[in-house]
Amino acid sequence: MSHIDTIIARIPSMDARARAILRDNAGNNLKKNPDDSDARRVLDALNAFDDANDKPQSLKVTGLLAWEKRPHEKIYNFRAFHEGRVVGRIFKRADHSSTEKDVYTVEINDLQIPGQFHNIKDARAVGEAAFVEQNVENCTQTS
């Protein structure tokens, strides 16, 4: 079993914080090298785990997307749904502090959106805009 296979096998036993750190590390590796297949495998495994084990309880609709909303849980991954399928995520990479102000990042359709955001409202708005832009591009390319 490779090192990456061992890490992926441990995902179900990790707590939410450990999975968030693993996600952040894999995301950083992909930023450095977009062809890093090990980092992509880790992210895919984390997403599959979240999708299979964590059902949305409450959703915030922002337009085309419905975002998970769990205000009383310490959570690091909020999914975006469109027509019942997961199309994006917001990741909280740290708790807010005097040195860590912009803690949210956004991924739509497996594409990391540039920037980090201070609050979840801004992250949702950027995610919604990116989703709309991607779908407009897809519609014009197939027409």
- Tens of pLDDT, residue by residue over 122-137, are 999 999 999 999 887 6
pLDDT band per the 50, 70, 90 thresholds, residue 94? confident
Burial letters 89-126, b for 16+ CB under 10 A, else e: bbbbbbeeeeeeeebbbbbbeeeebeebbeebeebbeb
Tens digit of each residue's pLDDT (9 = 90 or more) over 31-75:
788 788 999 899 889 888 877 766 666 788 888 899 987 655 556
Return the bridge partners of 112, or none.
107
pLDDT computed for residue 86 by the predictor? 87
Measuring CA to CA, how many Å separate 98 from each of 74, 95, 102, 118?
A: 19, 10, 10, 12
Report how far residue 143's alpha carbon sits from residue 140's, in angstroms, rounded to the nearest whole number. 5
Residue 103: phi, psi to the nearest 5? -110, -5
* Spatial distance between the Cα atoms of 138 and 135, rounded to a whole number of angstroms: 5
